[in-house]
A and B are shown apart, each in its own frame.
Chain A
Amino acid sequence: MRLRYKILSGFFLLVAMLIVAGSFSIIEFSKISKSVEDLLEDNYRSIEASKSMLEALEREDSGVLLLLHGNWKEGREVLRYGDSLFNSSFHIVQNNITEQNEEAYIDTIKKRYSKYKSLWERPIADTDKENNLNWYYSKSHEEFNAVKKAVKELMGLNQKSMYQEATDLKEKAKRAIMPGIVAIFSAFVFVFLFNFFINHYFITPIEKLTKELENYNPQKTTLTTKIETRDEIGKLKEAINSMIQKIKQNQ
């Protein structure tokens, strides 16, 4: 192979190594970016919505207590706000199903909430339920806890998935960094190797040829420096030998 191609191949391989390492790092970082996006888009949104649902339920529970104490206007106001908040949050989780079995959890919440809502939707003021704490503890509070539990389970599912995703992210980050580290180490070794070949096949023979020409013995007909390759340096030696022979012939 010609000298220029040998040197070019060295640089080409070095560049190839960097391109490969760079490409793989980019792919892995893209995966991380996607994972972060998924983490925020999927699980975090559902967790926030679940928190809002829990807040809405707490408000509704307070609203029920206000109704029981005869503050029907204020109670209805609080219940309306709680219901609106719950529905809007429920809408978010309903349209953000990302985990396996998440739909079943949402269905449970829906059923439990409908049951809970049916308890306080009907009039309480001026009925036997007014000031009836037994009704509150045996019916309303029990259903309130059941819905709360279902929402918490949904939140737990998303939190667990978020934790898993975060653990995977750590692994992905490592996978993104490692090609870079390997590339740096490989490039380091490669430079040494390249330097060795350049020295062995190009620099040293040229130095030897130069030294032999400097100490040239006119009685010699050919150069004794050993050239291992059949590239330009080998041809240079042959050319010098040919020149020496021509000079000898002319003498």
Chain B
Amino acid sequence: MRKTIIFRHLGLILLFNSFFLFISAAISGVLDETSFIPLLYSALIAMLFGVFPLIFVDRTYDIQSKEGIFIVVSGWGISCLVGMLPYILWGGEFSLVNGWFESVSGFTTTGSSILNDIEGLPTGLLFWRSSTHWIGGIGIILFALLIFPKSGTARHTLIRSELSDMSTKSFRTKTSSILKVILYIYVGLTVLEVICLSIAGMSLFDAITHSFGTIATGGFSPKNTSIAHFDSLTIEVIIMVFMVLSGMHFGLHFATITGKRRNLFTSAVVKYYLIFLIIGIGLVTLKLYLSDFGTWQESLRYGSFQVISLGTTTGYATIDTAAWPPFTQLILIYFSIQCACIGSTSGGLKFDRILMLLKSIKKQVQVFIHPQAVIVKKIDKIKISNEIEQFFLTFTALYLVVILISTFINTFLGVDLMTSFSASVATIGNVGPGFAGVSSLGNYADLPSLSKFILTITMLMGRLEIFSILSLFYLRSWR
């Protein structure tokens, strides 16, 4: 593994971060805020560290697979480290652990927060907080790739880590095109949502920050009470639409726009994903209505928003779900585990794997009845080999094991069971809010420091698909 190549690419990632830090600093500077110096200082540090490797290391045209994985993992790590700088330099509620938590939560597009008073933060810092979502959403790696030299191997490797390995198989366009497509779709959706939210009555700043949080399926809001602050059905509907769109494969958006045969309307994954969401909304609405939670319109309004918000791993809130009936909480926990589709900006287990799991169960039943039968399994007309199936099932098992371990550790640290479990599910799935002590309008401030740190590890594991993180433990075998 060539360390110099890794340093060069990490430098590029730092430069990209510093660009957003400079914008945030400029906002603070114009508004004469206390966060100006912390943001400017962080931007300069990121820039200096970013420029230095570029002076020494020449442009390289091939990145090996192992180097690619290492760049992805360490790129996220280094971004989180730089991302926490303005927080800890500014102070307030940001201790070292809190700053790290907020930064990791931002870059992994989790959206969990330790802040009690979000609105007390300066505008520049709020912009940076939302920017971490946007940067993380598309993947720092993707940005780095666009300015990287053209290298098929590297791109393939990096895409595998960033968008899950099925994304490269399920979308039949060239790898380089996928990268450009994702960028266009990502920026396009962000701009479109900003326009829609502005028309619906949001200020430009709120529209931008909320769009960053929606398209990245993050969930950071500059308001203490998240989307509930606006109490506007129009805004909620707009955000719901964009949350659902962001939860789908970005390549399929492109295919739909360009009139390709396999698009959002013909994809089986999207079809089942939407059916599951509709069933979830229906069940939650019905239960809320039967529990005298409100009229059926109110039940539908709050129920649909929360199901979509958690089902797409965004994590915005219009109501505190901690007070909801246990059945609805269970449904929401299921959606926090299921998450959205592969190829989107959402994290977690992803719906494609759930579909695969269901198809595996069906296959096993068929094999049980007809032991000699040769059954070919397909998703969206793509044949799924036994190797991929095994990999997916191992991943699913590992995913649940991580949730279990995280819950064990958190309960050991004195956190109650429901908080521990839902926080573990919400962080590994990059969802954000959980239940009990970390509910949708609550925060993670009261958790012990070690617990917060453990949850940041689960966030990173969720974002980097566990295997990338685990592969770091086998660095010796990489040589």
In whole angstroms, how far apart are the Cα atoms of A10 and B56 in the complex? Answer: 9
Q: Could you tell me if A9 and B92 are in contact, using CB atoms closer than 8 angstroms? A: no
Q: Could you tell me if B89 and A229 are in contact, using CB atoms closer than 8 angstroms? A: no
**CB contact list, B83-101 vs A, under 8 A:** 85, 88-92
Say if the beta carbon of A104 comes within 8 Å of chain B: no
Q: Could you tell me if A182 and B55 are in contact, using CB atoms closer than 8 angstroms? A: no
In whole angstroms, how far apart are the Cα atoms of A174 and B34 in the complex? Answer: 13
* A-contacting 9-mer, from B42-50, B117-125, B143-151, B428-436: B42-50
Say if the beta carbon of A44 comes within 8 Å of chain B: no
In whole angstroms, how far apart are the Cα atoms of A21 and B44 in the complex? Answer: 10
* B-contacting 9-mer, from A91-99, A192-200, A207-215, A241-249: A192-200
Which one of A1, A13, A171, A196 lies within 8 Å of B51 (CB-CB)?
Answer: A13
Q: Could you tell me if B45 and A17 are in contact, using CB atoms closer than 8 angstroms? A: yes
Q: Could you tell me if A171 and B91 are in contact, using CB atoms closer than 8 angstroms? A: yes
Which one of A16, A21, A174, A197 lies within 8 Å of B41 (CB-CB)?
Answer: A21
**CB contact list, A221-240 vs B, under 8 A:** 228-230
Residues of A within 8 A of B45 (CB): 17, 20, 182, 186
Say if the beta carbon of A27 comes within 8 Å of chain B: yes
In whole angstroms, how far apart are the Cα atoms of A194 and B53 in the complex? Answer: 9
Q: Which residue of chain A has the shortest Cβ distance to B7 in the bound complex? A: A193
Say if the beta carbon of B295 comes within 8 Å of chain A: no
Tally of contact residues, A, Cβ under 8 A: 30
Smallest CB separation, A4 vs chain B (Å): 12
Say if the beta carbon of B38 comes within 8 Å of chain A: yes
Q: Could you tell me if B89 and A9 are in contact, using CB atoms closer than 8 angstroms? A: no
Say if the beta carbon of A24 comes within 8 Å of chain B: yes
Smallest CB separation, A125 vs chain B (Å): 61
Say if the beta carbon of B200 comes within 8 Å of chain A: no
Say if the beta carbon of A175 comes within 8 Å of chain B: yes
Residues of B within 8 A of A10 (CB): 52, 55
In whole angstroms, how far apart are the Cα atoms of A174 and B7 in the complex? Answer: 32
Residues of A within 8 A of B90 (CB): 175
Q: Could you tell me if A200 and B91 are in contact, using CB atoms closer than 8 angstroms? A: no
Q: Could you tell me if B49 and A179 are in contact, using CB atoms closer than 8 angstroms? A: no
Q: Could you tell me if A197 and B49 are in contact, using CB atoms closer than 8 angstroms? A: no
Q: Could you tell me if A13 and B37 are in contact, using CB atoms closer than 8 angstroms? A: no
Residues of B within 8 A of A193 (CB): 7, 49, 52-53
Residues of A within 8 A of B261 (CB): none
CB contact under 8 A between A27 and B37, given known A186-B45, A193-B52? yes
Q: Could you tell me if B52 and A9 are in contact, using CB atoms closer than 8 angstroms? A: yes
Q: Could you tell me if B48 and A201 are in contact, using CB atoms closer than 8 angstroms? A: no
Say if the beta carbon of A6 comes within 8 Å of chain B: yes
In whole angstroms, how far apart are the Cα atoms of A228 and B59 in the complex? Answer: 11
In whole angstroms, how far apart are the Cα atoms of A193 and B55 in the complex? Answer: 12
Q: Could you tell me if A200 and B4 are in contact, using CB atoms closer than 8 angstroms? A: yes
Q: Which residue of chain A has the shortest Cβ distance to B92 in the bound complex? A: A171
Q: Could you tell me if B52 and A190 are in contact, using CB atoms closer than 8 angstroms? A: yes
Smallest CB separation, A129 vs chain B (Å): 57
In whole angstroms, how far apart are the Cα atoms of A117 and B133 in the complex? Answer: 66
Say if the beta carbon of A133 comes within 8 Å of chain B: no
Q: Could you tell me if B89 and A179 are in contact, using CB atoms closer than 8 angstroms? A: yes
Say if the beta carbon of A28 comes within 8 Å of chain B: yes
Say if the beta carbon of A178 comes within 8 Å of chain B: yes
Residues of A within 8 A of B89 (CB): 175, 178-179, 182
Q: Could you tell me if A28 and B37 are in contact, using CB atoms closer than 8 angstroms? A: yes
Smallest CB separation, B60 vs chain A (Å): 10
Q: Could you tell me if A174 and B58 are in contact, using CB atoms closer than 8 angstroms? A: no
Smallest CB separation, B70 vs chain A (Å): 15
CB contact under 8 A between A178 and B52, given known A20-B41, A20-B44, A21-B41? no
Residues of B within 8 A of A179 (CB): 37, 41, 89
In whole angstroms, how far apart are the Cα atoms of A51 and B92 in the complex? Answer: 34
Say if the beta carbon of B3 comes within 8 Å of chain A: yes
Residues of A within 8 A of B4 (CB): 197, 200, 228
Q: Could you tell me if A13 and B56 are in contact, using CB atoms closer than 8 angstroms? A: no
Smallest CB separation, A208 vs chain B (Å): 16
In whole angstroms, how far apart are the Cα atoms of A230 and B41 in the complex? Answer: 34
**CB contact list, B21-44 vs A, under 8 A:** 34, 37-38, 40-41, 44
Which one of A6, A21, A24, A178 lies within 8 Å of B56 (CB-CB)?
Answer: A6
Q: Which residue of chain B has the shortest Cβ distance to A27 in the bound complex? A: B37
Smallest CB separation, A25 vs chain B (Å): 10
Residues of A within 8 A of B58 (CB): 228-230
Q: Could you tell me if B55 and A6 are in contact, using CB atoms closer than 8 angstroms? A: yes
In whole angstroms, how far apart are the Cα atoms of A16 and B58 in the complex? Answer: 23
CB contact under 8 A between A9 and B49, given known A175-B38, A182-B85? no
CB contact under 8 A between A24 and B91, given known A6-B55, A196-B3, A228-B58? no
Q: Which residue of chain B has the shortest Cβ distance to A21 in the bound complex? A: B41
Residues of B within 8 A of A200 (CB): 3-4
**CB contact list, A69-83 vs B, under 8 A:** none
Q: Could you tell me if B49 and A1 are in contact, using CB atoms closer than 8 angstroms? A: no
In whole angstroms, how far apart are the Cα atoms of A200 and B57 in the complex? Answer: 10
Interface string of B290-326 (1 = CB under 8 A from A): 0000000000000000000000000000000000000
In whole angstroms, how far apart are the Cα atoms of A49 and B428 in the complex? Answer: 60
Q: Could you tell me if A24 and B41 are in contact, using CB atoms closer than 8 angstroms? A: yes
**CB contact list, B65-105 vs A, under 8 A:** 85, 88-92
Pairs of residues from A and B, 5 with the lowest C-beta to C-beta distance, nearest first: A197-B56, A178-B89, A174-B91, A9-B55, A171-B91
A and B contact pairs by CB, cutoff 8 A, 22 listed: A1-B55, A6-B55, A6-B56, A9-B52, A9-B55, A10-B52, A10-B55, A13-B48, A17-B48, A20-B41, A21-B41, A24-B41, A175-B34, A175-B37, A178-B91, A182-B41, A190-B48, A193-B7, A193-B52, A196-B3, A228-B4, A230-B58
Given contacts A20-B44, A179-B41, 12 further A-B contacts (CB under 8 A): A10-B52, A17-B48, A28-B37, A171-B92, A175-B38, A178-B88, A178-B91, A182-B85, A193-B7, A193-B53, A196-B3, A196-B7
Q: Which residues of A contact B (CB under 8 A)?
A: 1, 6, 9-10, 13, 16-17, 20-21, 24, 27-28, 171, 174-175, 178-179, 182, 186, 189-190, 193-194, 196-197, 200-201, 228-230
